[in-house]
């Protein structure tokens, strides 16, 4: 239920209602197998992701900063699942596919999970530092040609429009919205900063494009029938 994540009101010993905060009141929220969440709970999570607040019994509670959500979806079985609506998928900046681990990675997984040694989490960054870096990324300047490239790339995904690519009109039922353009620029800024650059270029936009656009493209029946994936379409758009 939504109250499982937002929190609930209880009647305390003095006969007054008291709000008990749910797991959403954290800086980092991991929603495991989010597609098993009922639609009402998905809607409550959507409010938290977009408004950075939750509403319980008509009262709004602001979430602490920084706040972001990590979520997983199990692609194997669909029994008892509720596919996320496109409006909620759009709230996630990245869609990252996790494949099987490499041989070396799996060796480390087995070593670390079959012994009696318990890992101890080490603090590597504070919330104040995260907020500082978030503001720092926002202040990175973006050349006009890079801004135009990001918006044009998003525009290419919209079928039936003047800017639509031929593969878009052929295989996409619904394209990416303005939030994709915003995330392309923010992602390019981050990629440039990590790479030691003072400003992003078109290559930085291309580096993050697949993860940002993958879950924002709604393929049509012809794409399903022809076995054309979202990644293949994005690859064609980036040429």
Full domain range(s) for residue 50 = 1-92
Where would I find the beta strands (DSSP E) of 72-119? none
Asked if residue 135 and residue 44 are part of one domain, the reply reads no
User: The domain that contains 88 carries what CATH number?
Assistant: 3.40.50.300
Question: CB neighbours of 87 closer than 8 A, spacing ≥ 6?
Answer: 46
Residue 207 backbone phi and psi in degrees, to 5: -65, -30
In the block, residue with structure tokens 């429009």: 161
Do 130 and 237 share a structural domain?
Answer: yes
Are 194 and 238 found together in one domain? yes
Give the number of domains in the chain.
2
One domain, residues 219 and 134 = yes
Same domain as 198, residue 137:
yes
Is 158 a domain residue?
yes
In a domain, 233, yes or no: yes
* C-alpha dist (Å) from residue 232 to 135, 168, 214, 219, 220: 34, 11, 10, 11, 14
pLDDT digits over 146-165, tens only? 999 999 999 999 998 888 89
The reply to whether 81 and 137 lie within a common domain is: no
Residue with tokens 């720092």, as numbered in its chain: 136
Classify residue 34 as exposed, middle or buried by CB count within 10 Å of its CB (0-12, 13-18, 19+).
Answer: buried
- Output the pLDDT for position 144: 95
**Pair (135, 88) in one structural domain:** no
Average pLDDT by stretches of 10, the chain with 239 residues: 78 76 84 78 80 80 85 70 72 87 93 85 89 93 94 93 89 90 94 93 94 90 89 90
CB 130 within 8 Å of CB 66: yes
Same domain (yes/no): 137, 86: no
Q: Tell me, yes or no, whether 113 lies in a domain.
A: no
State the CATH number of the domain containing residue 239.
1.10.8.80
- pLDDT tens, 15-48? 777 778 878 888 888 888 877 777 778 777 887 8
Alpha carbons 199 and 142: distance in angstroms, whole number: 6
- Residue 120 phi/psi, 5° resolution? -115, 125
For residue 119, tell me if it sits in a domain.
no
């Amino acid at each position: 239920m939504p109250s499982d994540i937002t929190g609930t009101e209880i009647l305390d010993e003095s006969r007054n209602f008291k709000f008990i905060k749910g797991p959403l009141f954290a800086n980092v929220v991991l929603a495991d197998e989010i597609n098993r969440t009922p639609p009402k709970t998905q809607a409550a999570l959507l409010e938290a992701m977009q408004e950075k607040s939750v509403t319980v019994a008509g009262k709004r509670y602001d979430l602490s900063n920084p706040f972001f959500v990590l979520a997983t979806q199990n692609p194997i079985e669909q029994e008892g699942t509720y596919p996320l609506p496109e409006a909620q998928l759009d709230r996630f900046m990245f869609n990252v596919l996790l494949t099987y681990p490499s041989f070396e990675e799996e060796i480390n997984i087995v070593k670390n999970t079959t012994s009696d040694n318990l890992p101890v989490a080490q603090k590597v960054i504070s919330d104040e530092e995260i907020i500082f870096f978030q503001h720092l990324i926002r202040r990175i300047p973006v050349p006009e040609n890079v801004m135009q490239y990001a918006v044009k790339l998003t525009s290419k995904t919209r079928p039936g429009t003047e800017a639509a690519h031929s593969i878009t009109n052929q295989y996409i039922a619904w394209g990416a919205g303005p939030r994709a353009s915003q995330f392309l620029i923010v992602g390019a800024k981050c990629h440039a900063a990590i790479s030691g650059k003072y400003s992003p270029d078109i290559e930085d936009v291309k580096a993050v494009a697949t993860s940002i656009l993958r879950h924002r493209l709604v393929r049509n029946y012809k794409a399903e029938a022809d076995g054309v994936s979202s990644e293949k379409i994005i690859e064609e758009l980036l040429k």
